Amino acid sequence: MKKSPYLFLFLSTILYALPFFFSAQLWWLIFIFPIPLLHTACTYVVSFKEGYIWGIIVFALHLHAGICIIANLAGDWWWIGFLIGITMVLYQAIMPAFLFGSAHMIITCNSITSPIVRLVVWATTVGLFIVWVDQYCMWIFGIQEGYPLMHPLIVLAQHPALLLPLSVLGKPIMLIFFLLIPISVILFLWYKNICSLLFFVIAIAPWMYWGLQHNNNDQKKNVHTTLKSLPLMIRAHNSPDTIRILIRHLNKLITAHPETTIVVMPESALDMIDPQDLCLLNQHLQKKIHLIFGACHCTNDCYYNALYWVHDGVIKARFDKKHAMLMTERLSDWMNVSCMRAMYFKNNIFIRRADNKRILLPIMHDNIFIPYICSELFFTEYPDNDDNTTPIMAIVNDTLLTGTYLQELIYLLARLKAIQWQREIVYVSYGRSVFIERWGRIEEL
């Protein structure tokens, strides 16, 4: 056998990526990806260089759709966008290189020869890498946040029963349970005795138990009977034309579903509108409905991305987005130069992060929601409101992700959030609209 670790390191990167690309079919591979990585790290010399190469491949695979999006947004300067994406991959690979180098140094400096101890050191290294990516890897862009679409637990949302204890144990403890499976497999492959087999059974038993559970605590709400989604983005010459187009589509929806009382549209569904033009809704709609949609507004020369609640032609509430997405809504301070603005913000409109308090949308006595706008949901580790039972209304703009695996991943992340926070979520995007119950089950809207 060659004494090169690269074959198994490359295999682990492929096994790490495939469950995210084809989550519906290959989600189970996520349990296997650490096995060749940990086995190689404990068998061969794996340090900074190997960690950097492993990191480059991992991030190139996971971020390739995002790199294509950044390049396309740059238009004629697509090659600069591509270089930005490649630079991001090279930068992010520094952390796994540092972690691999640190693990090698710990083992070498302390003359650790025990295979079990070495395995624990390397499993801890993998765990730290996952946590860093999930919560901290984007700090260089001005906000302490990570890239949550690489966490192994996300793909398990395809079978939400596996995540039932998440709300109690939390992601760090669930990550430990996750890593125990590859650890137990490697120990069994090494020792092939009763003790290692018993440890494997103990490691896999909780997941088998959770996977066989069927939580029936939630009563079926059938929200789809009165709440409908309208995944439509309207771009017209002026505000009155926008409202007239909207009225036409709403009347079609009401005719097809006369029981509808609430219609939800995704983030950025409408251009900036004049509130005075909303009176047309009251005049021309077939029935009075509650309309929720995403649109921008300008206040004091600052642009905000907002969620509107309109009823009877009147704005009942407006909530401004508290998070701004990098490259599509904002630039970090060190990126805010003329060439970047010319490529990504040709209209010179930047979205300001709002500091308003998260509000309630008391639409009806039995339909009260808390608004979350797209990335607010995905980049928030814990809810930032005091109420921990009110359902969430999440409007999402996933148009840039259409046709990519990322569109499915953000939907799975919303299911994971519902389980993690124990909150029902009305998830409305251009690609998919569902009601997600607290245990991850869904109803199509």
N residues, the chain = 445
> Is 3.60.110.10 the CATH number for 223-444?
yes
Q: Is 126 exposed, middle or buried (0-12, 13-18, 19+ CB in 10 A)?
A: buried
Instruction: Give CA–CA dist 266/47, Å, rounded.
Output: 46
Residues 303-331 have a mean pLDDT of 93
The more confidently predicted of residues 398 and 224 is 398
> Mean pLDDT across the chain, nearest whole number?
92
pLDDT tens digits, residue range 181-227? 999 999 999 999 999 999 999 999 999 999 888 665 555 556 667 89
Order of strands, edge to edge, in the sheet holding 433-436? 361-364, 367-373, 392-395, 425-428, 433-436, 442-444
Pair 306, 352: CB distance under 8 Å: no
Structure tokens that stand for 285 in this block: 């709609």
pLDDT of residue 81: 93
- Confidence grade of residue 272 (pLDDT, cut at 50, 70, 90): confident
C-alpha distances in Å from residue 220, one per residue of 64, 103, 144, 150, 223: 39, 49, 38, 31, 9
Q: How many Cβ atoms from other residues are within 10 Å of residue 287's Cβ?
A: 10
Residue 149: exposure state from Cβ atoms within 10 A (0-12, 13-18, ≥19): buried
With a cut of 90, say whether residue 236 has pLDDT above it: no
User: Rounded CA gap, 367 and 390, in Å?
Assistant: 9
**What is the rounded CA–CA span in Å between residue 375 and residue 384?**
14
Residue 193 phi, psi dihedral angles, 5° rounding: -125, 180
pLDDT above 70: percentage of residues in the chain: 97
- As a 3-state breakdown, the chain gives helix, strand, coil percent values, each rounded to 5, of 55, 15, 30
Q: What is the C-alpha separation between 138 and 140, in angstroms, rounded?
A: 5
**Residue 322 corresponds to which amino acid?**
K
Question: Looking at residues 425-433, what average pLDDT do you find?
Answer: 96
pLDDT value of residue 364: 80
| Confidence band, pLDDT 50/70/90 cuts, at residue 52 | very high
- Would you say residue 400 has pLDDT above 50? yes
Q: What is the mean pLDDT of residues 360-377?
A: 90
What pLDDT is stored for residue 383 in this prediction? Answer: 87
pLDDT tens digits, one per residue of 61-119: 999 999 999 999 998 899 999 999 999 999 999 999 999 999 999 999 999 999 999 99
pLDDT in the model for residue 1: 41
pLDDT at 384: 83
d(CA 29, CA 103): 25
Extents of the domains making up the chain: 6-211, 223-444
Across the range 32-42, mean pLDDT stands at: 95
Lowest mean pLDDT among 228-237, 321-330, 362-371: 362-371
- Residue 237: φ, ψ to 5°: -70, -30
